[in-house]
Structure 1
Amino acid sequence: MKNQQPWVPPLSQLPLSLKPLVAMQQKHYGSVLNPTRWWGRMPRLFWLVALFVGYLERRKARLEPTLRALLLTRVSQQCDCAFCIDANSLRVVERCGAMDKVQALNDWQTATVFSAAERAALGYADGMTATPPNITETIKQELHCHFNDAQITEMTALVAFQNLSARFNAALEIPSQGLCPVGGKTDA
């Protein structure tokens, strides 16, 4: 792992309760994801966070998978989280089968690859991620043109989760893992 801080625990020191997750990550990604080493210091909190994102990413989620991945990636860019940009960019590519949306995400307002609904959601994510949050009446109106209240509630939870995750990882300088060819590149 590049840029590993000396205080990062080795995999051998992760609690037994995380072994199933470690095995799943090694199988799916070929290695353990960098944040697992930090979250592993507090396994109960880690599992609570994992359950939260697992619910938001469930098969019967109110938001379609590509939109969820776009929102996660955009928040990651706004928070300048190298790991999250990388991992969530991979999610976008896996879900839409192309890199065009990942490559255009920094300029989503003018890029032609995004639908009106995606633009409304991305505007909302940007507004939520601003400090302090800045959700204008225009953003709210545009959002309500494409999403119902239940979808907006779930979108709000997803964006809030990604802010937690990206800010946690960015503060600890958790590095990218090279999961997505364009994942580590951002102009944000």
Structure 2
Amino acid sequence: MARIPAVTTAQAGPLLKLLYRFAVRRYGAVPEPFAIMAHHPGLLRTGGVHELLVEKAAKTLPANVRELAQFRVATRLGCSWCVDFATMLQLHSGLDIERLKSIDDYATSPAFSAGERLALAYADAMTTSPVTVTGEQTTALEREFGRKGLLELTYLVALENMRGRINTALEVTAQGFTSGDACQVPMP
């Protein structure tokens, strides 16, 4: 159970109920971090707008690279909620979620392309403390994905670090967006 309880639909005011309906329509359930952040409406609105803007702007990298890098951060941080949600997003994007089982062996696994390996190693280097990113990594990533792609990857990995650290600090755990190989949330 999370350290701060979610704001329930019964406790929600009219605007929050509307936002909850939007979330249910989009994800099949109200994401628990969203319902917890509802205790601070200003941050909830800010975070929601930010997430929508990032989703709209982050289109330079291939979807598989974006999603894998964020999934890797979630696994490195041990954020079960993030892993659950990221798996659901990959499933909805038509990506191969079976290979997520070998994410820890990405460097040698044939399930991952050279570009994916670069992005996953970068996610690892950005997630360690202190950060261990090298000039060689950024040069290789810029060559693979372009400058805009490198900036997008950096932003998404940093954002997933923020999400995962917030959820971990508040003990937000897997919500059941995925269960085994079956997604509990209806496909869009």
Measured against the shorter chain, the TM-score band is: 0.7 to 0.9
1:40 aligns with 2:38: yes
Displaced runs of 4 or more, over 6 A: none
Which of residues 50, 59, 62 in structure 1 aligns to 2:60?
62
CA 1:30 to 1:117, structure 2 compared with 1: closer, same or farther past 3 Å?
A: same
Partner of residue 178, structure 1? 176
Partner of residue 75, structure 2? 77
Q: Distance in 2 between matches of 1:72 and 1:98?
A: 15
In structure 1, the gaps of 5 or more residues are: 184-188
What TM-score, normalized to structure 1? 0.85
Alignment deviations for residues 107-161 of structure 1 (CA, whole Å, 9 cap, x no partner): 2112211111111111111111111111023322321230211111121111111
CA RMSD of the aligned region, Å? 2.2
Identity of aligned residues (%): 28
Partner of residue 120, structure 1? 118
Partner of residue 97, structure 2? 99
Partner of residue 184, structure 2? none
CA 1:115 to 1:59, structure 2 compared with 1: closer, same or farther past 3 Å?
A: same
What TM-score, normalized to structure 2? 0.85
CA drift at 1:164: 0.7
CA drift at 1:175: 1.4
CA 1:110 to 1:173, structure 2 compared with 1: closer, same or farther past 3 Å?
A: same
Describe the SS at the equivalent of 2:129: coil
CA drift at 1:37: 2.0
In structure 2, the gaps of 5 or more residues are: 182-188
Tell me the amino acid that sits aligned with residue 147 of structure 1. F
Describe the SS at the equivalent of 1:96: coil
How many matched pairs?
181
